[in-house]
Amino acid sequence: MSSATAIESTINPSSKSRILTILSFPVIALAFGIPWWMHTTSIERRSLAAIGTVRGIQEGWIEEKVVVRVEQEGEGGGDVLRWTRMMNVCVPAERRAWELDIVEGSREGSEDDGAVQSPHIKLVNQAAYPVLPYVDIVPSSPSFGALMFPAPAIPLRHLGEHSIPRPDECKAAGSDKLFDAMEALLPLQPWTLPGHAIKYAENVTFSFVLLNEDASADKGSRMARGWDVEDALRTYIQPVVAALEPFHTVTIESQILYHAPLKFVPGSRMLHNTGLPNDTESKVWTVSDTQASGFVNTEQWTLGTLVEAFLERVRVTNNPVLRFLLFLPKAGRRPLVLEESLRGDGEAVTIPPTAISTFRIPQFGSVVIPAYPERQEEDGYMSSHQMRQAFTVFRRDLLQLLGVPSLPETLCRDDASNADPGLIITPWQFSSLLRTHVQATTISAVDTLTSISRLVSRIREMPVGKEVVGDVESSVDALTEAFGKRRKSSRAADEGLMGVWEKTKRASALADRAFFNPSMVGLLYFPDEHKYAVYAPLFAPISVPVIVAIIKEVKRWRKKRKARRTQGVEVNRNKLVVSRQEKAI
């Protein structure tokens, strides 16, 4: 008997250690498992409090003024100084986006450095020039790009430090006229980008494509084997790209397709007197309105050389591409013109050999179709001169697709409208575009930042990591720098609006990077029943033996307690018996 208990006690652990063993399972699970589980499943969500400060930045709030330089043609420097001061006072600062300044003598040196100069006004003698102000866009002119403004004929009063000119004095000095002209050029509220223009992107790709509709149909040298695109780009596109350098980094690609079929058959019409020599009646092929909208056959034309560019490790990943297509209809389909251009003229239309048809596709590019494609007879090469018209159109469309504003018609003179300026972007357009872009990037940055904070508060599963917070904070910093205290401390004249632009551009890029940070994808929302469905099969089988053991232990303990109680009663009874026996003795 005693040996059996001894053996039992050595094999089975004591009830104390048994209970410890059983309890250690749930205790370890609770003490270590739950914190570990919490740690691994928690979503890192850092504070984005910095965003709160950008709410104060209003959309389009640009305090920085465009410095406009004033000079006078001919004699009389004293009056210019007076006029400039007077205009700055006559037009209140909150009504204008510009600030007049006198031309310094040293400015002459900066004219030749190729960059777009700051806008300037040239005061001209009323007697020699027309009264209305205009912008000089004749490239050969020495005052190219300047706003020619008629100088007031009356002598101007010298203004003291605090004196304010009377309204009639202002008017006589031409303040109203100046305000109108300047509002057209540099409006207080900057233009938003027109709908056909692409959204601002720092890296842009231009793709110039020469398309032979069907080179095999053009016997021998009649097809365009190649084009002198480099020369054409140098002549027509390069100046524009250089002028826009502060905004865009441009990648240019070119491509030649020898088989670019259309998806439709153009209509045909007989025309008299097409303008060709020895030709009184001939067939003209027409592209209707609906055909034009499906003209670019993206399905069969392999446009774009993105892959090649990619192999050369040019980072083109997200570049918007503007495509400029020079389409050469195949033999037997010439001339190919837009039906629109023939409308209303009956049969009296003449199509000169140099005619081109062109249309623009918003946010995509433009298409040029020469009626009679020129090329060099011997080798089928197109020289840059033969593509002059096409590239002039491309240049114009390119500017518009990038959102460069054109000069207001009211400030254009008739005699200048036929000019073909080498540099199309005047300082006025540049400054106006700069203000537009500053506003657009500011809005974009503020919008992105606020939408990040809105999304983070709405989607609870969205992680907010260190990188995101870093980007958001630097973006906010850049915005506050651009519009905040910097201006009070040092108003660096050389920085000016360009400095603001650099900062807003950076702010917008950083905000975008924060928004598109790959860590921001919250994976995922699970409904509660999914959680049970996942955890139950995992934990139920494990917990069964533990729970059963605990129940058993509890039962055993209760049994023991019961046994001990009855044993205790017996012991008492025994004691009682013993005491009675003692009494009896």
Partner 1 sequence: MANTLGMYRTVKRLGIPDSQIILMLADDVACNPRNGFPGAIYANSGRQLDLYGSGVDTKAANDEEDQPEQDEAQEGVKGVEGVEVDYRGYEVNVENFLRVLTGRLPPHMPPSKHLLTDSSSNIFIYLTGHGGDGFLKFQDNEEIGSRDLGDAVGQMWEKQRYNKMMVMVDTCQANTMYQDIYSPNVIATGSSQLGENSYSHHNDMDIGVAVIDSFTHYVLQYLEGIDKGSKATMQDFVRLRGSDQPTVKKFLIFLPVFFQTQFNIYDPEKIKSHPGIRKDLFPFDLQQTLVTDFFGGVSHVQIPLSHGNASLRGGVTNGTDIWYDLAEGEGIRTGLPAAATNRGERSLSSPVSDTSSFNGSSTSKAHDLSSSLTRSQDWLVVFALGLLFFTLSWTTSRPGRLSRKVKNE
Question: 533 to 572, contacts with partner 1 by CB under 8 A?
Answer: none
Radius of gyration of the chain (CA): 41
User: Nearest distance from residue 260's CB to partner 1, in Å?
Assistant: 12
Q: For the CB of residue 120, give the shortest distance to partner 1 in the complex, in Å.
A: 19
SS3 readout for 430-483: HHHHHHHHHHHHHHHHHHHHHHHHHHHHHCCCCCECHHHHHHHHHHHHHHHHHH
| Token couple for 323 | 């495509």
Q: Which is nearer to partner 1, 76 or 194 (CB)?
A: 194
By beta-carbon proximity to partner 1, the closer residue of 299 and 378 is 299
Q: Residues 326 to 365: which contact partner 1 by CB under 8 A?
A: 337-338, 340-341, 343, 345, 349-352, 354-364
Among 291, 376, 383, 543, binds partner 1 (CB under 8 A): 291
CA atoms within a 13 Å half-sphere pointing along the CA-CB vector of 426? 27
3-state DSSP: the chain helix, strand, coil percent, rounded to 5?
A: 50, 15, 40
214's CB contacts (< 8 A; 6+ apart) are: 259, 260, 261, 330
CB of 492 to partner 1, least distance (A): 29
Residues 425-454 that bind partner 1 (CB under 8 A): 432, 443, 447-448, 451, 454
Residues 306-325 that bind partner 1 (CB under 8 A): 306, 310, 316-318
Q: Does 304 bind partner 1 (CB under 8 A)?
A: yes
Judged by DSSP in three states, 575 sits in: helix
Interaction between residue 56 and partner 1 (CB under 8 A): no
Q: Least distance from C-beta 393 to partner 1, angstroms?
A: 6
User: Smallest distance, Å, CB 268 to partner 1?
Assistant: 13
- CA 142 – CA 485 distance, rounded (Å): 40
Structure-block tokens of residue 126: 């009323």
In angstroms, the CA 263 to CA 299 distance is 9
Residues 470-529, interacting with partner 1 (CB under 8 A) = 515-518, 520-527
Question: Segment contacting partner 1 (CB under 8 A): 117-125, 165-173, 217-225, 387-395?
Answer: 387-395
Shortest Å distance, C-beta 460 to partner 1? 10
CB under 8 A: which stretch of 77-85, 236-244, 398-406, 473-481 binds partner 1? 398-406
Q: In the bound complex, what is the minimum distance in angstroms from residue 521's beta carbon to partner 1? A: 5
Residue 221 CB neighbour total at 10 angstroms: 14
420 binds partner 1 (CB under 8 A): yes
User: Which residue from 62, 173, 182, 371 is in contact with partner 1, where contact means CB under 8 A?
Assistant: 371
Identify which of 177, 246, 197, 243 has the alpha carbon closest to the alpha carbon of residue 495.
246
Closest CA relative to residue 420, chosen from 388, 465, 452: 388
Q: Give the total of residues touching partner 1 (CB under 8 A).
A: 91
Could you give the CA distance from residue 401 to residue 195 in angstroms, rounded to a whole number?
Answer: 9
The pair of structure tokens assigned to 336 is: 């190919």
Q: Give the nearest distance from C-beta 295 to partner 1 in angstroms.
A: 7
Number of other residues whose CB lies within 10 A of the CB of residue 541: 9
Do β-strands 203-212 and 321-328 pair in parallel, antiparallel, or remain unpaired? parallel
Site for partner 1 in 224-283 (CB under 8 A): 261, 263-265
Q: Which is nearer to partner 1, 322 or 482 (CB)?
A: 322
Buried b (16+ CB within 10 A) or exposed e, 466-490: eebbebbbbbbbbbbbbbeebbeee
Among residues 170 and 240, whose Cβ is nearest to partner 1? 240
User: In this complex, which beta carbon is closest to partner 1, that of residue 72 or of residue 319?
Assistant: 319
In the complex, the smallest distance separating the C-beta of residue 202 from partner 1, rounded to whole angstroms, is 15
Q: Which of 150, 87, 152 is nearest to 124 (CA)?
A: 150
The residue from 219, 458, 485, 561 that contacts partner 1 (CB under 8 A) is: 458
Residue of 88, 221, 383, 400 that binds partner 1 (CB under 8 A): 400
Among residue numbers 131 through 190, which ones bind partner 1 (CB under 8 A)? 184
> Looking at beta carbons only, is 241 or 455 nearer to partner 1?
455
Site for partner 1 in 183-222 (CB under 8 A): 184, 191-192, 194-196, 199
Find out whether the peptide bond into 335 is cis, omega within 30 degrees of 0.
yes
User: 459, 534, 548, 569: which one contacts partner 1 (CB under 8 A)?
Assistant: 459
